[in-house]
A and B are shown apart, each in its own frame.
Chain A
Amino acid sequence: MTTPRTIRFKLNGRSVSADIMPHETIVDMLTQRFDLKGARESCGQGLCGCCTVNIDGMAVSGCLSLAWFLDGKDVQTIEGVANGATLDPVQQAFIEAGAFQCGFCTPGFIMMVRQLLDLHPDPTEDQMRHFLTGNLCRCSAYPEIIDAVKIAVAKRAELAHLVA
């Protein structure tokens, strides 16, 4: 077998290191070495979005990307988006809209909605649908997810207003 390699990166704001195998995916590393459960492998082909994490500001499928590409990167997972017990506006919006049933795809959706709103703070409904089309929800909470995006837009605007 190949030998492990040490990588150093930022995980949810903290500097960390890990001895990882070359074949190890980001999801495997996060679950097995850091006990983080939010990014989940479901389809294993980068088609469902359950494994979405954010690397240097870009949403990435954690089941397809190898962990050692994270060396020197800034990684954010669903575990890093809340401020302590205070939920992120997108998380709050998902609860208010009831935008999930079983919850398995939910962290991936929330990561992707955050990316959507970072790029398009006030998206049209078409933009929402297209941007989130790579995330699958078999419970089909899709109407409520669109509601959640709309609520999140308002919540973010309100926060921006407060900061300004």
Chain B
Amino acid sequence: MDAVTASPNIGRSIPRLEANDKVTGRIEYIHHLRLPGMLYGKIFRSNVPHARIKSVDVSAAEAVEGVFQVVTIDDIRKVIPHPYYGPAFHDQPILADGKVRFAGEPVAVVLATDKRIAEQAAALIVAEYEDLPGVFDEVDAMTSQTLVHDELKPAATFPDLQHLKGRKGTNIALDYHLVRGDVEEGFAKADHVFEHVFRTQQVMHTPMEPFVSVADAQDGSVTLHTASQGPSFVRIEIARLLGLPENRVRVRVPHLGGGFGGKLYIKLEALVTALSMVARRPVKIALTMEEQFFMVTRHPCTFTIKSGVNKDGRIIARHCEVVWNGGAYADIGPRVTQKAGFTSAGPYDIENVLIDSYAVYTNRPPCGALRGFGAPQTAWAYECHTDMIAEALGLDKIEFRRMNILREGRPQASGTPMVDAAVEQAMDHTLDLMNWKLPFDRGSGKIRRGRGVAIGFKGITAPTTSVAIVNLYGDGSCALYIGTVDMGQGSDTVMAQIAAEVLNIDPAAIKIIHPDTDVTPYDMGTLGSRSTYHMGTAVRLAAEDAKAKIAALAAELGLPEGTNAPLAELLRRKYGMQAGNIIGTGSFIPDYQKPDTKTGQTIKGTPFWGVGASGAEVEVDTETGHFTITKLVNVADVGTAINPKMVLQQLSGAAIMQLGFTTTENMVFRDGQLTNGSLADYKIPNLLDMPREFINDYTQSRQKDGPFGAKGAGESTTIALSPAIGNAIADAIGLFLPDLPITPESIFRALQDANGTPLAGE
């Protein structure tokens, strides 16, 4: 038996450390925070998608009793002379600056002591606009004369974006390319060439705790209490905006009511900081559910995929052109473009690959990271494409995959070898759970049944750093200081298990010191499935450092090596009373080689691989297009599961979320106006949407360089789920649907088209 699984703390499903506080409702969220003297801010938003601002009349709002002040960009410029922010580009103004670039963009803020008064007053603001033509579709934006930004303003944060600085006359914020072999030669040699276009829709994270931040600015310093997934980044970006050293900006984050990639980088933090500086009072902004649709969303994408295939079924060439609709501000879209572009040819061993991935600006709400960093959008294309090719060539869909799958040790399209990536095992385990080899009832009459499988993978944002501190007190009790944000994924518990394993103590007795940049060390962010691997390693190193210091203390006190004297006893002997600390530190950054800027080639482009496989069985009523997912299976490679129950919960939760993005969720726009921005019209999954048979599992694998063999698990089951369902629908009705979401209407339209009786309209 593996020594790791026999260990006392790894592979154990202990309950969450904070379970009691969550069921009693007493857990801390910024949602509830009130500070003495605090003002509430209510945002007044643009109602046009692209326009010059002619005037903003705030006089009626300012006259409302109880209103403290109404703030526009002119007020903000007095405290922050260059009020533009963003993680990849400094393109987003704290409030609209002369122009609005999407319907819903913040234009002014009413500050009042009562949030209802602020709300009422905000409704009295009148803005006049001079409309500009808008560009909304990503493919149009590639060539449109309508420009969302006059000039590109890349941030200095990422050195690889420097070449874009000052570029004008384009909506293309970033282009990423990968070249392997010669794709044209491959197509010329291939027996068959297939080309398909796939599209995905704009969707939203919808955390149940809407975005909320509180700032308390003093002269020369600021404290932020914020529902953020990335306190360290917030600190760096706020310090840059204010021209302050990092140590004058404090960012504190308790638990989050969900994040899913939305609460990353910098969101409301710049605005509340500016408002607090203007008002010289603490300021809170809490978005409503409706307003969340204007904060950040997932990129819609158009993916043209072309493959050259030999008659024996070997894929020898693939060209991926992926266009990402980033909305009005880049946010982290350029990273999505690179990271998802990187794996957009799929987990297949292809000799000749060309990838062109473009982030474009449009006049839509901004898009950023959402549970998968673009991998689910690309897998939708490459895995539907896989089934379509197999179908056209009369090949078995599983054997076709198996013939081309990227096996352990083989170089992925970037040249980075596949290491500890159980792609084929995940597919095989999915097939077993689907009972793939058993006869399958295909339905009869108008009810048709089908089943589908898909596989996918993703690279991890690199290189990124995590730092951890283990503090053992005079009585031997332990606290862990980490910047990882527990937004529900259970990082507090897993990190405690890792520390406990090294220190041989009870994980439930460890206290987690939540992110507070005055106290907790740097962490790049709680994102992209990186925490268990990166912060987990930093915690392991910190605990080992503490352990070595305990051993050194014992030696100093003249105790024999390997003494089992408790730490409290050692410290008492050293200091003559209950006093002192043992402080262990750990810092981790994985190996990385920057990809070649022209070819994207690198031998180490990702610290590890996220891997997921999914299978679905569906039942379609061919008269109406209504369908039921009767069975859904998801398998991920998570390395060693440190807390198996919480890992399975991540896999299941991510799968249901992606099920929403596959079947019901869709931000619908008319002329740049969002028409369904509330939970009344934008439907996220509820209990009735859960498939009757719903199985989630992980492969027996090990990430050799991860903490105790572990790696991230939060996104893996979002990757292959949509194409598994799409392929199952196609298997049932004999038609492939190229666009997400799959709805009864889209199925009905496809069936009518095939019957030669197409329906009118969209």
The residues of A that contact B27 with a CB separation of less than 8 Å are 103
A143 touches B15 (CB 8 A): no
The residues of A that contact B29 with a CB separation of less than 8 Å are 37, 104
The residues of B that contact A39 with a CB separation of less than 8 Å are 25
Report B698-715 CB contacts with A as 1/0, cut-off 8 Å: 000000000000000000
The residues of B that contact A128 with a CB separation of less than 8 Å are 687
If the complex has contacts A38-B24, A50-B208, are A102 and B488 also in contact, measured as CB distance less than 8 A? yes
Q: How many pairs, one residue from A and one from B, have CB atoms within 8 Å of each other in the complex?
A: 153
Q: Within the complex, which residue of A44, A50, A106, A143 is in contact with B694, where a contact is CB–CB below 8 Å?
A: A143
Q: Within the complex, which residue of A32, A106, A139, A143 is in contact with B690, where a contact is CB–CB below 8 Å?
A: A143
- Among B48-56, B149-157, B311-319, B649-657, the one that faces the other chain is B649-657
Q: Is B476 an interface residue (CB 8 A)?
A: no
If the complex has contacts A50-B208, A95-B20, A104-B208, are A139 and B687 also in contact, measured as CB distance less than 8 A? no
Q: Is A136 an interface residue (CB 8 A)?
A: yes
Q: Is B686 an interface residue (CB 8 A)?
A: yes
Size category, A interface: 35 or more
A1 touches B65 (CB 8 A): yes
Q: Specify the chain B residue showing the minimal Cβ separation from A77.
A: B25
A142 touches B22 (CB 8 A): no
If the complex has contacts A106-B23, A138-B207, A139-B653, are A132 and B687 also in contact, measured as CB distance less than 8 A? yes
A138 touches B24 (CB 8 A): no
Q: Is A5 an interface residue (CB 8 A)?
A: no
Q: Specify the chain A residue showing the minimal Cβ separation from B290.
A: A44
Q: Is A153 an interface residue (CB 8 A)?
A: no
CA distance A145 to B685 in the complex (A): 14
With both chains docked as a complex, state the minimum distance between the C-beta of A30 and any C-beta of chain B, in angstroms: 11
CA distance A23 to B119 in the complex (A): 13
With both chains docked as a complex, state the minimum distance between the C-beta of A155 and any C-beta of chain B, in angstroms: 13
Query: Which DSSP category, helix, strand, loop or mixed, fits chain B's interface?
Result: loop
With both chains docked as a complex, state the minimum distance between the C-beta of B721 and any C-beta of chain A, in angstroms: 12
Q: Is A11 an interface residue (CB 8 A)?
A: no
B208 touches A47 (CB 8 A): no
CA distance A145 to B288 in the complex (A): 26
With both chains docked as a complex, state the minimum distance between the C-beta of A33 and any C-beta of chain B, in angstroms: 12
A98 touches B22 (CB 8 A): no
Q: Is B320 an interface residue (CB 8 A)?
A: no
If the complex has contacts A44-B289, A102-B488, are A138 and B65 also in contact, measured as CB distance less than 8 A? no
Report B85-106 CB contacts with A as 1/0, cut-off 8 Å: 0000000000000000000000
If the complex has contacts A47-B680, A101-B653, are A139 and B258 also in contact, measured as CB distance less than 8 A? yes
14 further A-B pairs in the complex, CB-CB below 8 A; given A48-B208, A102-B487: A39-B25, A44-B288, A98-B16, A101-B649, A102-B488, A103-B21, A104-B257, A104-B258, A105-B208, A106-B25, A133-B688, A138-B205, A142-B687, A144-B649
12 contacts between A and B (CB under 8 A): A40-B208, A42-B209, A43-B679, A44-B289, A47-B679, A95-B15, A100-B23, A101-B258, A133-B688, A136-B684, A139-B653, A143-B652
